[in-house]
Amino acid sequence: MDDILDLMEDVATAVSLYDVQSVTSEASQLAHIVTQSAQHVQQAVGLLSDMKQSAQILKQCEEIDRWESEADRVLRAAMSKLFREEDDVKTLIKLKAIYELLEEITDKCEDVANIIEGIVLENA
- For the whole model, what pTM was predicted? 0.94
pLDDT at 92: 97
Residue 124 has pLDDT above 90, yes or no: no
Q: How far apart are CA 79 and CA 99, in angstroms?
A: 8
The number of distinct structural domains making up the chain is 1
Say which residues have a Cβ less than 8 Å from residue 86's Cβ, sequence separation at least 6: 92, 95
Task: Please give the residue range of the domain that contains residue 77.
Answer: 2-122
Across residues 52-62, what is the average pLDDT?
96
| pLDDT of 94 over the 80 cut | yes
**pLDDT for the residue numbered 1:** 83
CATH code for the domain of 49 = 1.20.58.220
Looking at the predicted structure, is the pLDDT value of residue 89 above 80?
yes
